Amino acid sequence: MTNPFTVTVIPETGHAVLRTDGYINNLGGERLAEECKRLIDGGTIHLILNFEHSTVVNSVGISILIEVIERIEEVSGTLAFCMLTPTIAKTFRIMRLMDATTIFGTEPEAIAALAT
């Protein structure tokens, strides 16, 4: 049995970091999307998704991430990813998710980029 997906939200001034843990599939993706929607609706429109503990994203998870990207674009926000496995980073580039987002190697790098 696999561990359930979790997302930890770290609110900061001007942005929030969402640290995921587990498989980003339909269930994990929906949970992540719910947290993103809650933050955006509350006025936090600059989000960093830290995937250090999520090493697999399936096609349903990617489609849900595309919905999050579209929502971020609607509010002129920013979405960044960090701590991606090389395979996930390559998949995101192939799927052209990077046209509207950015990948950073570490969480501090992503935070520093959003601060500027």
What's the CATH number where 71 sits?
3.30.750.24
By three-state DSSP, how is residue 68 classified? Answer: helix
Q: Which long-range contacts (CB under 8 A, 24 or more apart) does 9-14 make?
A: 9/35, 9/39, 11/39, 11/44, 12/111, 14/46, 14/114, 14/115
pLDDT digits (tens, 9 = 90+) for 73-92: 999 999 999 999 999 999 99
Give me the domain span that covers residue 66: 6-115
Stated pTM of the model: 0.94
Angle at 10 between CA 96 and CA 36, to 5 degrees: 45
Banded model confidence at residue 116, pLDDT cuts 50, 70, 90:
confident
pLDDT at 115: 80
Cβ–Cβ under 8 Å, residues 37 and 47: no
- If one counts the domains in the chain, the total is 1
pLDDT digits (tens, 9 = 90+) for 3-61: 689 999 999 988 999 999 999 999 999 999 999 999 999 999 999 999 999 999 999 99
| Residue 38 lies inside a defined structural domain of this protein | yes
| Residue 54 lies inside a defined structural domain of this protein | yes
